[in-house]
């Protein structure tokens, strides 16, 4: 089993999409610069959604243009439909994410379609992607619980994941969109899927609303999952999922993996600079638990020096 863990930083998309303060393109690129300096190599940069629905993503084209100067950065975008897919393709993007939620209620609020309609749209994108040489990850949103219909049976996410794998998805992300899951659910959902398709086909997208994200990530690691989404400083939230707070903080996930002997290629200490830029951009105090620990250690050392004569 590989010790290399791929972390896709989603702060610029999932982290910012629900922020009330409009973040400029310049600040978004400043966040990207700090993330790359810390070792981030996989970045979900934006999404091609209607600007009236998600105003923060209105500058998607400008953000992607600005990211072209970054060498060896794997840039992905989220697309809601074929129109968004075609825009991503026109920008030369080789990795896209598409979403299908587990319930009609969630798909209706998120994409204004029924689940079956979303499946058709996603299947069409998957067919096109094979001809275009574009990798597609399908997000099974609300895999653990729906913000409208509550807790989901594990079979719902399993059946949806299997459907999209058979339709040609390159990978499947099991997404705890509202942070309502627990480690046992991770095992229950993913174990049979991994037995059938292999761990390298799956990703975990976790929100930390109830403080379970790191425990769920560890459950995934024990199953062989080596691909995760996270967000700098714990930024996050879905405008169509009430109660969905931030994603698992990138710095916390990196720290856990590195301390456990797994390699992310990311320096969790340097991520603090990215957190500071994200704070500047959003006007919010951010940071995972490891940031708070770092601050406490600095305060402790400062106190020691202050009492020395």
Q: How far apart (Å, rounded) are the C-alpha atoms in residues 249 and 232? A: 5
100 is catalytic: no
Name the helix (H) or strand (E) containing 290: helix 289-307
Q: Buried b vs exposed e over 272-298: b needs ≥16 C-beta within 10 Å?
A: bbbbbbbbebbeeebbbebbeebeeee
Task: Report how far apart, in Å, the C-alpha atoms of 120 and of each of 74, 81, 117 are.
Answer: 28, 10, 5
Find the Cα–Cα–Cα–Cα dihedral 68, 250, 288, 147, rounded to 10°.
100
CA distances from 45 to 29, 62, 138 (A): 9, 11, 16
Catalytic residue among 100, 122, 146, 238: 238
| CA separation, residue 58 to residues 16, 44, 63 (Å) | 12, 15, 10
- β-bridge pairing 202-206 and 95-101: unpaired
Residues that are catalytic:
238
């Amino acid at each position: 089993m590989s010790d290399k863990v791929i972390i896709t930083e989603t702060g610029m998309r999932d982290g910012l999409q629900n922020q009330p303060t409009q973040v400029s393109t310049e600040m978004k690129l400043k966040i990207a610069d700090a993330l790359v300096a810390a070792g981030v190599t996989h970045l979900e940069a934006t999404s091609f959604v209607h600007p009236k629905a998600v105003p923060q993503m209105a500058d998607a084209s400008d953000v992607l243009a600005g990211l072209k100067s970054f060498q060896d950065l794997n840039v992905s975008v989220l697309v809601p439909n074929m129109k968004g897919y075609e825009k991503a393709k026109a920008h030369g993007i080789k990795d896209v994410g598409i979403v299908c939620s587990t319930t009609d209620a969630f798909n209706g609020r998120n994409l204004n379609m029924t689940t079956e309609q979303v499946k058709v749209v996603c299947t069409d994108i998957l067919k096109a992607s094979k001809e275009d040489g574009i990798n597609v990850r399908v997000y099974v949103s609300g895999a653990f619980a729906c913000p409208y219909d509550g807790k989901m049976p594990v079979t719902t996410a399993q059946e949806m994941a299997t459907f999209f794998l058979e339709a040609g998805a390159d990978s499947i992300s099991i997404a705890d969109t509202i942070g309502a899951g627990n480690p046992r659910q991770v095992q229950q959902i993913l174990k049979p899927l991994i037995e059938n398709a292999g761990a390298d086909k799956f990703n975990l997208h976790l929100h930390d609303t109830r403080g379970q994200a790191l425990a769920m990530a560890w459950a995934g690691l024990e199953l062989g999952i080596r691909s995760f989404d996270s967000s700098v400083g714990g930024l996050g939230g879905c405008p169509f999922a009430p109660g969905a707070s931030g994603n698992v903080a990138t710095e916390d996930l990196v720290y856990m993996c590195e301390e456990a002997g797994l390699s992310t290629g990311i320096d969790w200490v340097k991520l603090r600079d990215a957190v500071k830029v994200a704070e500047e951009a959003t006007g919010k105090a951010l940071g995972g638990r490891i940031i708070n620990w770092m601050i406490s250690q600095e305060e402790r050392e400062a106190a020691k020096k202050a009492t020395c004569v």
